[in-house]
Amino acid sequence: MKTRIFNLKIFELALLAVGVALTGYAVFNYFGGRIYSRGAIEKFNSTPSSQVAAVPNHLSSSTSVDSSLWSHVRIVQYKASLTQHFEEPLAILKIEKIHLEVPVFEGTSDLVLNRGAGRIDGTASIGESGNIGIAGHRDGFFRGLKDVEIGDTMELRTTSAKQIYKIDSIKLVDRSDVSVLRNQSAPELTLVTCFPFYFVGSAPQRFIVHASLTGETKTINEPAKVSFQATASRTKENTP
């Protein structure tokens, strides 16, 4: 009997040790993920001013994520995504009006959209001319899009440039309608999320925010690019 009790105590201690080890591993991964998530944005913001002209060295919300509008499920999934490894983001999307600052990764998998926003496959690559499509969850990072208006501006920043876009249309389309992502020769940015924003289940529509490039600042080694619209205007004026 004494031997049996002793063995049970040994077994209990072993289980306790395993539990402590697993808890420590989970805590390490969670906080490690949070540090990486913050660092993804801060890496862009730490670019020396000698490399990027007229771009601030830091952004006000670079160390926090405003999840006040998010669903509980999305918050849980975002936290879970912090334990996963990600490549460095392609860019940082910022819309000051709605306090949005989100890393943009490649692709639109669930894991990517739980961590940030994703460039839609088949659309223009970031840094190239054309229609760049970026998707985000309606109950996460992109829920604030419900408050944007035509004329609002947004910023897309990479390690080598900062582009400013102005919203020129906002519309709803069927979820099967991909015409809004059709590539154009002009520099454009199209944000896509599901609609209605608070719909329970698979949303039937897509909320589309389209914007055109109005200005771009590149590295100090290249001349700053003026507004696309201004360039087009001068070209028209100089045409005989």
pLDDT digits (tens, 9 = 90+) for 220-233: 544 444 444 444 44
Structure confidence at residue 218 (pLDDT)? 82
Identify the band that residue 38 occupies on the pLDDT scale cut at 50, 70 and 90. low
Domain count, the chain: 1
Residue numbers of the domain that contains 195: 2-238
Core vs surface per residue 120-135: b (16+ CB within 10 A) or e = beebbebeeeebbbbb
Quick one: average pLDDT of 55-84?
Answer: 76
pLDDT on residue 184 = 85
Query: Burial level of 73, CB count in 10 A (0-12/13-18/19+)?
Result: exposed
Q: Residue 9 CB: number of other CB atoms within 10 A?
A: 10
pLDDT at site 127:
86
- When pLDDT is averaged across residues 164-186 and rounded to a whole number, the result is 95
> Residue 202 pLDDT > 50, yes or no?
yes
pLDDT confidence tier of residue 16, bands split at 50, 70 and 90 = low
Asked whether the predicted pLDDT for residue 238 surpasses 60, the reply is no
Per the prediction, the chain carries an average pLDDT of 78
CATH code for the domain in which residue 101 is found: 2.40.260.10
Please determine, for residue 24, whether its predicted confidence score (pLDDT) is greater than 70: no
Q: What is the pLDDT of residues 102-156, one digit of tens each?
A: 999 999 999 999 999 999 999 999 988 999 999 999 999 999 999 999 999 999 9
pLDDT at 94 over 80: yes
Share of the chain above pLDDT 70, in %: 65
Amino acid 5: pLDDT: 54
Q: Which pLDDT value is given to residue 2?
A: 52
Nearest to 61 by CA among 35, 33, 31, 99: 99
β-bridge partners, 194: 206
HSE-CB at 61 with a 13 A cutoff on CA atoms is: 15
Produce one character per residue of 175-207: b if its CB has 16 or more CB atoms within 10 Å, e if not. Answer: eeeeebbeeeeebbbbbbbbbebeeeeebeebb
Q: How far apart are the first and last CA of the chain?
A: 106
pTM of the shown model: 0.69
Higher pLDDT, 32 or 207: 207
Predicted local confidence at residue 42, as pLDDT: 56
Asked if the model's pLDDT at residue 185 lies above 60, the reply is: yes
Q: Are 137 and 146 in contact (CB under 8 A)?
A: no
Structure tokens at 21: 């080890």
**223 vs 197: which has the higher pLDDT:** 197
